[in-house]
Homo-oligomer: A and B are copies of this chain.
Amino acid sequence: MTDFEWTRQQFDLPEGMIYLNGNSLGPMPRASVPAMTSFLNDEWRTELIKGWNTKNWFMQTNTLGDRVGRLVGAAEGTTVVGDTLSIKVFQAVAAGMKMVPDRRVILSDNGNFPTDLYMVEGLMKLRDAGYTLRTPDPEDVMDAITEEVGVVMLTEVDYRTGRRHDMKAVIEKAHALGAVVVWDLAHSAGAVPVDVGGFDTDFAIGCTYKYLNGGPGAPAFIYVAPRLLDTVEPFLSGWYGHEAPFAFDTDYRPMPGKIERMRIGTPSIASFALLSVALDIWDKADMDEVHAKSIELSELFIREVEARCPGLKLVSPRDPAARGSHVSFAFEQGYAAMQALIADNVIGDFRAPDVMRFGITPLFVNEADIIDAVDKLEQILEEERYKDAQFQKRALVT
Contact = CB atoms under 8 A, between A and B. Distances in A.
A36 B40 CA distance: 9
A28 interface: yes
B125 A236 contact: no
Given A127-B126, A238-B119, A270 B58 contact: no
Contacts of A390: none
A155 to B, nearest CB: 13
A14 B235 contact: no
Interface in A272-304: 274
A239 interface: yes
A215 B248 contact: no
A386 interface: no
A126 B235 contact: yes
A220 interface: yes
Contacts of A119: 236-238
Given A28-B45, A217-B267, 14 more contacts: A25-B48, A27-B45, A33-B40, A83-B83, A83-B84, A84-B238, A85-B266, A86-B236, A114-B242, A125-B233, A126-B235, A209-B266, A217-B271, A246-B352
Nearest to A56: B396
Interface stretch (A189-197, A249-257, A377-385): A249-257
Contacts of A219: 268
Give the oligomeric copy count: 2
Nearest to A266: B217
A112 to B, nearest CB: 8
9 contacts: A33-B41, A50-B342, A83-B83, A113-B239, A118-B237, A122-B235, A126-B235, A209-B266, A216-B270
A128 B129 CA distance: 9
A86 B265 contact: yes
Interface residues of A, number: 95
A276 B319 CA distance: 47
Nearest to A47: B14
A217 B247 contact: no
Interface string A54-72: 0001110000000000000
Contacts of A236: 86-87, 90, 119, 122
B33 A19 contact: no
A44 B209 CA distance: 11
Chain B CB within 10 Å — which of A53, A85, A264 has the most?
Answer: A264
B85 A265 contact: yes
Nearest to A272: B217
A21 interface: yes
B398 A246 contact: yes
A266 B235 contact: no
Contacts of A252: 114, 117-118, 121-122
A50 B44 CA distance: 30
Contact of A121 (B113, B121, B218, B251): B251
B48 A21 contact: yes
Nearest to A264: B86
Given A50-B342, A247-B352, A239 B24 contact: no
Contacts of A46: 14
A251 B135 CA distance: 11
Chain B CB within 10 Å — which of A12, A209, A215, A238 has the most?
Answer: A238
